[in-house]
Amino acid sequence: MQFMTRLPIRLCAAASVCVLSLCAATASWAGTTNDVPSCYAANKLKAPAAVPQQELFLMVDQTTQLDANLKAQVNENLARLVKPGSAFTLAEFSAFTQGHYTDVVTRGYLEQPVAQKDRDDISERLLRNFDACMQGQLGYGRKLAASKFIEIENGATNDLAKSDILASLKDLSDRVRNSPSQDRVVFLVSDMLENSSISSFYAHNAVRKIDPSAELKKVADASLFGDFGGARVYVLGAGILTEDADKTKAYRDPKTMAALRQFWSSWFEKSNAKLVEFGQPALLSPIN
């Protein structure tokens, strides 16, 4: 991809000692793939331990189509959360059918700047090159995350007969739990309407009013709780139907939406996570 090949070169251009092979987009942090080039490697500086202060997990449901305002809200939060010292993982999920499945699309770690106490030990020229590279790295990471989100969302479809949200989230929870960061943030873009062999939250092309207790029993019987390692969870798109992407007149019964929220709040609690906000469909507060 042109986007993926240009940016590393631009980052490296800031450092006179750069070696392109060190700046490849397949570097690693904490033993994982990293699609963001390293400025420490480019400038031949010893990097601090790559333990992100925060890791964002953006999980996008391939069956949920967003309008322009909701897409913009996702991008605004991405720009805020992708920052120096943080990591991000973008994943897509859907029904387990041909061409649509759970997949990690990209992962990245944005390095921390050189500690103030260590800057005096580095030449002024090298510091200038490094600081310029770090600015380029920040822009690259944000553009990478935003472009991959749009790529996933542009491929969203309502043509799939099923939506295995529970099974997909259980699978993805392992990645969240294994993050080296102590601050794990799950940003979930989904209508949250399960439609699988376990249960269906639809009725007559609308959101069905579910019995949270009965649905949780089905989940327990199917062993579909996950373990998110104490993550904070934010949902955008809850209850949205396909036609809502183009129309704004869709009505959702508050009791129906309250039951949906209650189910997912309990599910995340039983899956070692805390549901902080349940956007119906938009978030009312920024994610931090």
Q: Is residue 148 part of a domain?
A: yes
Q: Is residue 284 part of a domain?
A: no
Q: Is residue 285 part of a domain?
A: no
Over residues 273-287, mean pLDDT: 98
Q: Is residue 286 part of a domain?
A: no
The pLDDT score that the predictor gives to residue 99 is 62
Q: Is residue 283 part of a domain?
A: no
Give the model confidence (pLDDT) of 128-159 as tens digits.
999 999 999 999 999 999 999 999 999 887 76
pLDDT over 70 for what percent of the chain?
A: 82
Domain limits for position 54: 2-278
Give the model confidence (pLDDT) of 173-213 as tens digits.
999 999 999 999 999 999 999 999 999 998 877 899 999 99
Give how many domains the chain has, as a whole number: 1
How would DSSP label each residue in 66-128?
--HHHHHHHHHHHHHHS-TTEEEEEEEE--SBTTB--EEEEEEEPPPPPPHHHHTTS-HHHHH
Give the model confidence (pLDDT) of 253-265 as tens digits.
899 999 999 999 9
